[in-house]
Every structure is written in C-alpha cells, then in structure tokens.
Structure 1
Amino acid sequence: MIKTPEEILNIMKASAIGDLCFSHILGFVRPGMTELQVADEIERVLKSLGAEGLSFPTICVSGINTTLPHGEPSDKIIEEGDLLTMDFGAIVNGYCGDMTRTIGIGHLSAEQKKVYHIVLAAQLAAIDACKAGAKCFDVDKAARDIIEEAGYGEYFIHGTGHGVGTEVHENPYLNTRTDEILEEYMPVTIEPGIYIPDKFGVRIEDLAIVTSFGIINTVKSTKELIIL
C-alpha cells in the first residue's frame, strides 16, 4: 500500500497525462456527439500522450446514464442540458492514473448545479481529512456527512475512494467499514458522488498521495463547474 518515490513518480506522470487529456476533451466535446465518440477520443489521446495502456475501460456517460457509477459509454447522443461524467486513467511504467470530472453541456438546471456543488464540497472535505494517521472510514465520513446533511445521503452509493498502484483498485479502501490507518506515501482516490435515479449523477475524483501534512494532489484539472 505504501509506494516508493519511483512508484509515486510513475503515478504522477500518469495523472499528468490525464490532465492533458481532459484539457483536450474540453475543446473536443460538443452536443450531437455520442458517448462512444468521446470515450474513443479520450483513449486515443491518452495513448498519444504516452500511456502504455488504460487503467480501466473509459467511463463516459451523459444525461440519464450519469446515474450509473460504472456506466459504459453508449450510442447515446450528448445533448444540451446533460451532465457528462468522464472517468479515465493512463498507465505509465505499469502504474495507474485515475480521475473523474463531471461537466455540463450547454446549460444546467438549478438542481444539477446544486448537486454538483454538494459533491465538490464533500470531495474537498474528504481531502482535508486525508492525511497520515487518519482512519479510512473517517475520510469517508467527512464526505458522507456533507452529502447526508444536504439530504442526498441515500444517493451516495459507493465508498469515497481506494488505493491505486499497478492495479487501479487496491487497498486501502476509503469506505464506511475500513478502519485501516492511512500512512505516508499511500496513493488513494477521493471520489464521492451523488446518483439520483431517473435524473442524473455527479462524481468528482482526484488521486492523492497521503503525507504527514495532508495530501499531494496528483490531479491538477479544475473542479470548478464547467459548462461548455
């Protein structure tokens, strides 16, 4: 679970490729494209930037499909008023990156914006709680408390994060049950989400390196709500 400086450097390189890919996609996506078209472009760009492979099959879902945390890209057309969630990662020297960003297409409703900002607040709270010596379930609780207080607790249906290395899902797991103590140089994702059935979902994910003073966030892409 604890990574060497060389392993951390490879994870940081993978994250840098993800950031560059996200920047490219912001200029690529437009209404009328399919989820599959965007997913294919994400994967093409990751590889063109030096990824030797993908951490996992790219998730690119829009509209109603954003209610599925592990939804697969489909022929669904990306439309104005949709949220678009993209979860992807590059592999560098055998080590995985992992990031998620949710953006708006054209315009968003007040409820979509509200939920986005609740998820962001939850993610930032978990980041603040994440440091060496913290228990995994306390980091999860920091995010979950924000979402529950906002009235959306039943729609946060997975853990807050997981370890990352040569596998994209490794110990430790940040969830309601794990009392593992975080230690310096453990890479973990921080990815709360809200998924409202028959409506929409939002997830925001960074990949953090645990330190004695907090985290080093390997993902630099903005988390401000982007509406293209």
Structure 2
Amino acid sequence: MTDKQKSNIVKSAREIESISKAAALGDRCFSHILGFIEPGMTDQQVADEIGRFLYAGGAEGLAFDTISVSGERSCLPHGEPTDKVIQKGEFLTMDFGAVIDGYCGDMTRTVAIGFVTDEMKRVYETVLEAQLAAIEFIKAGVACFDADKVARDIISNAGYGEYYPHGLGHGVGTLVHEAPTLNAKSIEILEKDMVITIEPGIYIPNKFGVRIEDLAIVTDFGIINKVESKKELIIL
C-alpha cells in the first residue's frame, strides 16, 4: 500500500469531523422517522421523508439512494423503495446517509410494525448479536476477514449462514463505498482512523430481512461508534 493510497483510507481529524456530522444528522433523521411511520404508508413515502429531513437538516446531498423496504421486500439487501404498502407484522429496513462537507454518512436500522413473530424476533436478535460481537472485536491491527468471521460465525451457528450474502462492512469517505473491504476474502488490516461500516444482515427469501449498520472510527483500543440510534428491536 503506498502512502498516497493510505492517505485516502486513513482519515484526517477534519475528515472524521465531517463524517461525524453526517452520522449525527442520520441519528436525528432516524429519531424523526420513528414518529412518522404508520401502517398504510408506502415504502416510497418513508424514503421521501428521510430525504426531506436530511436536506432540511443541512445535507448537501444524499450519500446514496435511500433504501426503504418492508415485508418480503426487506429480504432485498439493496432493494429500491416502491409503492408497496407497509403493514402490521412486517419488518421495515431503512438504509440512508447524508453528505456533509463532501463526506458521507451511512446507517441502517430495521424496525417492526405492530408485532413480530418468534422467527422475526430470533432473526433480529441473531443479527444484533453478530453486530455487537464484531463491534467488540474490531480495533487497529485486526484483519478484515477476521472481523467478518466473528459476525459470520454467529449467524452461521444460528442456522442462517446461507442468508448472509454480503460482507461485514466497508470504508466510508467522500464515497459511501471505499477501502477497506470487510469480508471473508479481504486480507486488508484495519488501521487507526479508518472509517468503516459494521453491518451484518440476514435475508430470508419470500419472508423478510434484517440489517443493522453503524458507522465507526477504528482506534487502537476498539471503535468509536458514530451512530447512536437504538439497536434493540423497536416495534412501532
């Protein structure tokens, strides 16, 4: 890795400050959207309100097209919002981010509408356990594939390994997907002041999906999580 490449991956204090501002706006947006969502709305209406709030809060752009997918469509990791109506007994996954000072935020939360089944609760708790374990494990000097393995092993041991098709996370900066890549094949080593996502998920076809994503600064002692929104299962 050249010094030039490293400078693009390891963020300066100024860059981290801008990313932190974007993450904080995302937290405020999530708090707002919890009071906005109601059964009978469409996924598209939720996505539109997320965008409206982010722009009203000072975003100069969206880091990517907002994901808002409910019910069976929540099993699509990168599903686009549609006019599908949100109903009770469904999960709703929202993945969004603001651009502040040219730098991206990125967070995902999955919430339930009305009630959950035992299976939905079990899957949610498995994803949360995997994410918390990865958060506890990650620090400077850790190999990306080892970080991925911590979360993946929990999901696999719970019987959902085949439903976890993507990696644990990725770098974030002026682009929402940058180096490093945290997946089962990545030999990259995490360094202090890298900014990464931590986002395991389970996606069961024709049923539902769950993803929980935080944005974090890698340090020598662990991570500094820039997303403060609640992660325990929320039932609206």
TM-score by length of 1: 1.00
Whether contact under 8 Å (1:206, 1:218) holds in the other structure is yes
Q: Which residue of 2 aligns with 1:4?
A: 12
| 1:119-134 aligned within 5 A | 119-134=127-142
Q: Which residue of 2 aligns with 1:77?
A: 85
1:104 aligns with 2:116: no
Q: Moved runs in structure 1, 4+ residues, more than 4 A?
A: none
Q: Which residue of 1 aligns with 2:5?
A: none
1:14 aligns with 2:32: no
Instruction: Give unmatched runs, 5+ long, in structure 2.
Output: 1-8
Give me the whole-angstrom Cα distance separating, in 2, the residues matched to 1:128 and 1:141: 13
Whichever residue aligns with residue 25 of structure 1, its letter is: I
Which among 160, 170, 174 is matched to residue 182 of structure 2? 174
Partner-residue secondary structure (3-state), 2:68: strand
| 1:1-228 aligned within 5 A | 1-228=9-236
Whether contact under 8 Å (1:129, 1:138) holds in the other structure is no
How far has the Cα of 1:132 moved from its partner?
0.1
Q: Which moved more, 1:121-130 or 1:91-100?
A: 121-130
Instruction: Give unmatched runs, 5+ long, in structure 1.
Output: none
Partner-residue secondary structure (3-state), 2:162: helix
How far has the Cα of 1:129 moved from its partner?
1.4
How far has the Cα of 1:61 moved from its partner?
0.2
Q: CA RMSD in A?
A: 0.4
Give me the whole-angstrom Cα distance separating, in 2, the residues matched to 1:49 and 1:110: 37
How far has the Cα of 1:8 moved from its partner?
0.2
Partner-residue secondary structure (3-state), 1:103: strand
Give me the whole-angstrom Cα distance separating, in 1, the residues matched to 2:163 and 2:198: 17
How far has the Cα of 1:128 moved from its partner?
1.1
TM-score by length of 2: 0.96
Give me the whole-angstrom Cα distance separating, in 1, the residues matched to 2:161 and 2:184: 13
